[in-house]
Amino acid sequence: MFKKILGKTKKQKRLLEDGQSNNELIPSHIAIIMDGNGRWAKKRAMPRIAGHHEGMQTVRKIARYADDLGVKVLTLYAFSTENWKRPRTEVDYLMGLPQKFLNSFMPEVMERNIKITMIGDMDALPVSTQNVLKDAMNRTKNNTGLILNFAMNYGSRAEIVSAMKKMILEVENGTISIDSIEEGTINQYLMTSDLPEPDLLIRTSGEVRLSNFMLWQLAYTEFWFTETLWPDFNEQTLMEAINDFQKRNRRYGGLKGEEIK
């Protein structure tokens, strides 16, 4: 799904004009695999954590811009289930980033009416990280603006396995029947059950793979890859992705208009 901005604010109109957008179709849900923080730091002879710190600044910048454009959901792949394999010092730093980010950004989050959510295995995170995320989600739970959704300790295969286990248990309990299971049923057991499927997936740093990210949800999502490293990703790069998205013919396996004739 994508939405047509109606009754746009002057700021939204200016942003679209500055971005040279061809029309007013803005993706409702944008998902981003934020990649390249370490390489950004290495190119500058800096420690990897410097890249993660700079990447955190990019998150703030892109969240603001997405909100100004009228995007409904912004899902950011912050930490995967495979990222635990990284050096301990790097993992420890990454686990502390939510507190650094939310402590500085929370006043603006509340002012902008942004809602913080998370997908992933919360229980496996350090208690301090859990507390920060839970506090942010609780404080913003009634906000009705942009949903800023962090994929933290997230792996799509693990998500699907968990969903299947829950569904099988309900079949065994007689809550649901096997014959009633369809795509919509499975959606209800996923961590994204309350969110629309992404319209646009962006991956930075030149990598062209999904890396175990939202495998079910991305079935009909438009992909956009860029060589830009995440710390260098900016508003103009996001608008380039949106402009390209707006040129796509999303058929969802069918035909459209003149193709049918």
Q: Which are the catalytic amino acids?
A: 35, 83
81 annotated ligand-binding residue = yes
Q: How many CB atoms lie within 10 A of CB 184?
A: 7
Strand partners, 33: 77, 203
CA 212 vs CA 88, 191, 229: distances in Å: 22, 14, 20
36 annotated ligand-binding residue = yes
Q: How many CB atoms lie within 10 A of CB 258?
A: 6
220-241 residues labelled b (16+ CB within 10 A) or e (exposed):
ebbbbbbebbbbbbebebbbbb
180 annotated ligand-binding residue = no
207 annotated ligand-binding residue = no
Which residue's structure tokens are 């890396």?
A: 211
227 annotated ligand-binding residue = no
222 annotated ligand-binding residue = yes
37 annotated ligand-binding residue = yes
What is the torsion angle, in degrees rounded to the nearest 10, for the CA atoms of residue 70, residue 23, residue 21 and residue 33?
Answer: 50
84 annotated ligand-binding residue = yes
203 annotated ligand-binding residue = yes
253 annotated ligand-binding residue = no
* Cα Dmax for the chain: 61
Q: How many CB atoms lie within 10 A of CB 76?
A: 21
230 annotated ligand-binding residue = no
User: Residues at the annotated binding site for substrate?
Assistant: 36-40, 48, 52, 80-82, 84, 86, 203, 209-211
Q: Which residues are annotated as a binding site for Mg(2+)?
A: 35, 222
